[in-house]
A and B are shown apart, each in its own frame.
Chain A
Amino acid sequence: MAAIKQTFFQECEEQLAELEAGLTSMDGGAADSETVNAVFRAVHSIKGSAGIFALDKLVKFAHVFETTLDAVRSGRLNATPEVIKVLLQASDTLSDVVRAARGEAPADEEKTQKVVAALTHLISPGATQTAAASAAKAEPAAAPAAPPAEKIWVISFRPHAELYANANEALPLLRELARLGRTEVSLDDSTLPALTELDPEGAYLAWTVTLHAACDEAAIRDVFEFVEDECVLEISAPATAEVGDGFELGEGFEFEIYAPGGEGIDFEIYAPGTEDAAPAVEAAHVEQAAAGPVEAMAAKAEAGAPVSATIRVDLDRVDRLINLVGELVINEGMLSQRVLEAGITRASGVAMALEELEHLTREIQDSVMAIRAQPVRSVFMRMPRLVREVADQTGKQVRLLTEGEGTEVDKTVIERIADPLTHMIRNAIDHGLESPEGRTAAGKPLEGTVKLSAAHRSGRIVLEVSDDGGGINRSRVKQKAIDNGLIAADAQLTDNEIDNLIFLPGFSTAQTISNISGRGVGMDVVRQSVQALGGRISITSIPGAGSTFSLSLPLTLAVLDGMVVRVGRHTLIVPLGTVIETLKPKAENVHALDSQLRVLSLRGGYIPLIDVAEVLGYSEAPIDMAKAVALLVEGEGGRRVVLLVDAIDGQRQVVIKSLEANYRAVPGIAAATVMGDGRVALILDIDTIVSVTRTEAGRLTDGETTETSSKNEMTYV
C-alpha cells in the first residue's frame, strides 16, 4: 500500500506541475478549452486518487477547486485575470495540501480556508464584483447553489458495454441517485434481443430516472463520475428552474476509469423465459468474464485516452547501467591504446573496426546519460509560485518569463539547482526590481519583469535570471566592501569586479534586512553551493536597466570537466570549474612570506602559492619555479590560491569514481577517475587544499604573520 501511495504522490507532483503549467499559460492569455480541460483534469485526477487513499482534506479541497474550474470550463465563469489569480493561489494551496497529506509540512489551515472562500466566492451568487463581464452567465451557475428548493431532474442513462466490462454496474448508480432524493425509475428494455441473440457481454438496457431533489446538477453528475465516458447520460434541467431555458448539461466528459475490469451486469433478473435459461446465461457470463480486463483495456485505448509512453524505472538500475557503460568506455579506450601500441596502422581492418566500436560506445554513453536527463521544467514550474509570494511580500508587481524549460540536464543536477535558483529569483525581485514608485519615477512599466532561462552552451547548462530593475549600485557595493574590510580602500576594480563583490562571504547590500533575501543566506552561500556542483555563477549589470545572474553547471555530476595536470610522475585532475586562469609565474613576482608560505603578486594583489607535490606529500623538494606552471583556482568561499604543477596535459571529461567505495576518503582528493590508459588518476579537492594550507600556515606561524597571511587571502583581484 505504501508503494502505491508513493506512486500516487509522484503522480500528484506531475498533476500539480501540469496544473501550474496550464494556469500559467491561461494567465498568459491562452484560455482555450484544451488548456482549461487539462487544468480541470489535473485537479480531477488528484481528487479521484486521493479518494482511494481516504485523504479527506485533500479530496475536499480538490473538490471545491474542481467545482470552480468546472464553471470556467463550461463558460459560466470567465477566466479574467482576477479569477486566474485566485486559481493560481488555489493551485499553490493544493500543492500545500498534497504535501500535508504526504506527511510533510502541515498546510496552513487558515490560508486554505481563505482560498476555499475565494473559490466559492467566484461561483456563488453572493459574488458581486467578480466576473462582472459574465454576469448573465454567472446567473445559471448560481441557481444550483441557491437555497434548497426541490427540483425535478430527468436523468436518462444508457450504459455502454464498456461500463460493465469495467466492473461498474447500473444498480449501485441508481441506488446512489435514490440517495439524493425520491426517484422514479423506468426501464427501457426495447433494445433487448431474444435470448438466442443476446450477447452476454452486451448492454441493452437504459433507464430514465425522475429525481425529486434539492441538489444541483453537479451532485448528480458526481454519481456518474467514473462512468460518464461509458454511457449515454443526459441530465435535463429542472422543470421548476427559475432560469428560463436552463443550460445544456451532460455533454460527454472524458473521465479516466479507476476501477479495473472484471464483473459484468447481473443478467439473471432480465433473463426471460424458463427458470432453466438463467443458469445458462450465467455460465456464459462467467466464462466470458475472464476476457473482461483485456477488453476493458482495449475499450480504454479506443476511448482515445492518451496512453503515456513512459515507464518508471528504479534509479538504481539506471545508475548500474551508467556505471557499466562507463566501464565500457574506459575499456574501449584501453583497447584503442593497446592497438596503437601494437603498431597496427590506422588503415587496417582492426583499427577501423575499433573506430566503429568507439562511435557505438559514445552513442551508448550518450543514450544512457539521456535516460537520466530531465528537462529543467520541473524546477521552473516551482518558480511562478515563488514569484507570486515574493511579489506579494514586497508589494511589487512582477511578471515571470521563462525560456528553455525543455533544456535537459542530469537528474542529479536538477535536484540541486532549485535552491540556488530560488535565491537568485528572490534576490532579483527583492533587490533587483525597484519599488513601484521607483519604477514610475524611472519611466518604466509598473510591472517588473524577471526572466528565467535555460540553455545548453558548450557542454554545460547555463541558467540565467535577469531583471529589468535598477542594476547594481556600484558605488554602494564598493563602499560596503571597503567598510567590511573585504577590499582595500584604494583598490582599483573594474565594474564587473565590483558587481561580483556581492558573492563575497558576509556581504549583503540590503540596507535593511528584509525577510525575503535577508534570511542569513547571502549570495556567497549560493555561490558556494553552485561551486560544490562544479558550477560557476556570475553577474552582469547595467545601471538603470537591470542585472543578469548567470549560472553555469555541468550537465551531469557523474562526469566532470577536468584539467589534466602532471606533478612529478603523477597525473592529477583539477576540476575545470575551479580554474580561473593558467599562467606562467615570473620569478620576480614570487615573494616569500616566511620559510613556508610564498605568495604571487598578481595584478596588484597577493595570492598564496601552493606546491601541489608538496601538499600531497609526493615530493620533498620544492618545485622548480622556472619550469612550473601555475593555475589560479578558486575554492570555498571565493578563496583563491595559485597551484603550482609541472605541466598541463590538456582538458578532458572524466567519469567520477569513488575512493570511499573500496578505501576511504583521502584528504585533498575529491574522487578518482580512470584515464584512457586504464590507470587511475586522482581528482583534486580544491576546497580542502585551500583550507589545509590555510590551517598549516596558521599553525606554523603565530601573531603578525598569520594576520598578514589572512589579510592576503582576503585580497581579491
Chain B
Amino acid sequence: MQTFLDWITQHQQIIYIVILMIFVGIEVIGHVPSVLHTPLMSGANAIHGVVIIGAIIVMGKAEQDNYLALILGFLAVVLGTINVVGGFVVTDRMLEMFKKKKER
C-alpha cells in the first residue's frame, strides 16, 4: 500500500496531466457534426502517431551491438512514421473534399 501511495506521489505530475487530458479530450470533441466523424477519427489517428517519439528514443539509445534494439527500433520508427505521415495526409485528403462546401 505504501509503495502504491509513494508511486502516486512520485508521479503526481504525470497523473495530473493524464486526468486533465482526459477531460480536455472529451471537451474538445463536444459537438461534432456526424459528417466530420471520419476525418476527426483520421486526425486523431495521426496525432497518436506521437508514439514515434518513443521509437526515436529507442533507436537513438540502442548500442551498436544490441541487434534486437537496432532492428526492432528501426521497424518501430518506420511504422510510427507511416502512422504520422500517412495519417495527416489522408486526413487532409478527406477534408479537401469538404473545402469547397465550407468556404461560402
Q: Do A and B bind each other?
A: no
